Structure 1
Amino acid sequence: SGDLLVYSYEETVTDFFLGGYKDKYPKVNIKTAVYGELDEAIAKMRGGFKVDVLNPCTDYIPLLKRLNLIEPIDVKYIPRWNDLMEYFKNIPELAAGDGKVWMVPSDAGLEGIMYNSEKIKNPPDSWMDLWNPEYRGHIAMQDYARNSIAVAALALGYSDPFHLSDDQLEKIKDFLIKQKPLLLKYFEGDEEVDTLFAEGEVWISLGWGSDAVSLSDDGTPVEFVTPREGALSWICGYSIAKGTKMPLASHAMVNHYISPDLQSFEATDFEYFVPNKKVLDMLSEEEIAAVGLDNPGALEKAHVEIIPDNYDKWLQVWETVKATK
Structure 2
Amino acid sequence: EGTKIDIVVPSDYLVERFIAEDLLAELDFSNIPNFKYVEKAAQNRTFDPENKYSVPYFIGTVGIVYNTKLVDDPVDSWGILWNEKYSKKIMMYDSIRDSIMVTLAYLGYDINSVNPDELAEAGELLLKQKPLVRGYGADNIKDDMVGGSVALAIDYSGSAVQAIMENEDLSYVVPKEGSNVWMDNFVVLKSSANKEAAERFINFMCDPEVAARNSEFVGYTTPNEAALEYVDEEFTSNSAYTIPDDVLERCKYFKDLGDNMQLYNDVWMKIKTSA
* TM-score of the superposed pair, with normalisation by structure 1: 0.77
User: Matched residue of 1:109: which SS?
Assistant: strand
> What's the offset of the Cα at 1:285?
4.1
| Identity, % of aligned positions | 25
Output the CA distance in 1 between the equivalents of 2:23 and 2:184.
Answer: 17
1:135 pairs, out of 78, 86, 91, with: 86
Q: Which residue of structure 2 lines up, in the alignment, with residue 196 of structure 1?
A: 144
Output the CA distance in 1 between the equivalents of 2:245 and 2:212.
Answer: 16
Q: Which residue of structure 2 lines up, in the alignment, with residue 19 of structure 1?
A: none
> What's the offset of the Cα at 1:167?
1.4
Q: Deviations over 1:6-53 (max 9, x none)?
A: xxxxxxxxxxxxxxxxxxxxxxxxxxxxxxxxxxxxxxxx5x213222
2:135 pairs, out of 165, 173, 185, with: 185
- Residue 272 in structure 1 maps to residue 220 in structure 2: yes
Q: Which residue of structure 2 lines up, in the alignment, with residue 281 of structure 1?
A: 229
Conserved 8 A contact 2:62-2:155: yes
Distance 1:220 1:192, change over 3 A: farther
Q: Which residue of structure 2 lines up, in the alignment, with residue 314 of structure 1?
A: 264
Output the CA distance in 1 between the equivalents of 2:215 and 2:181.
Answer: 16
Output the CA distance in 1 between the equivalents of 2:160 and 2:174.
Answer: 12
Conserved 8 A contact 1:145-1:315: yes
1:111 pairs, out of 48, 54, 62, with: 62
Output the CA distance in 2 between the equivalents of 1:319 and 1:278.
Answer: 44
User: Matched residue of 2:47: which SS?
Assistant: helix
The residue type paired with residue 110 of structure 1 is T
Conserved 8 A contact 1:119-1:203: yes
Distance 1:199 1:285, change over 3 A: closer
Output the CA distance in 2 between the equivalents of 1:213 and 1:293.
Answer: 10
Q: Deviations over 1:183-208 (max 9, x none)?
A: 11111x1x211222233221111113
RMSD: 2.1
Distance 1:144 1:287, change over 3 A: closer
> What's the offset of the Cα at 1:114?
0.7
Distance 1:217 1:281, change over 3 A: closer
> What's the offset of the Cα at 1:124?
0.7
Structure showing greater relative contact order (alpha-carbon pairs closer than 8 Å, 6 or more residues apart): 2
Conserved 8 A contact 1:197-1:220: no
Output the CA distance in 2 between the equivalents of 1:323 and 1:219.
Answer: 34
Conserved 8 A contact 2:163-2:170: yes
Distance 1:285 1:139, change over 3 A: same
> What's the offset of the Cα at 1:71?
2.2
Output the CA distance in 1 between the equivalents of 2:122 and 2:242.
Answer: 33
Q: Which residue of structure 1 lines up, in the alignment, with residue 36 of structure 2?
A: 82
> What's the offset of the Cα at 1:73?
2.2
The residue type paired with residue 46 of structure 2 is P
Q: Which residue of structure 2 lines up, in the alignment, with residue 174 of structure 1?
A: 124
Q: Which residue of structure 2 lines up, in the alignment, with residue 126 of structure 1?
A: 77
Aligned residue-pair number: 273
After superposing the two structures, state which structure 1 stretch, 112-121 or 49-58, moved more: 49-58
Structure 2: tracts of 5 or more residues without a match: none
Structure 1: tracts of 5 or more residues without a match: 1-45
Q: Deviations over 1:232-288 (max 9, x none)?
A: 222112101013333322222222221112211123222211111111322344432
Structure 1 residue ranges, 4+ long, deviating more than 6 angstroms after superposition: none
The residue type paired with residue 181 of structure 2 is S
The residue type paired with residue 251 of structure 2 is A
Which structure is higher in strand share?
Answer: 1
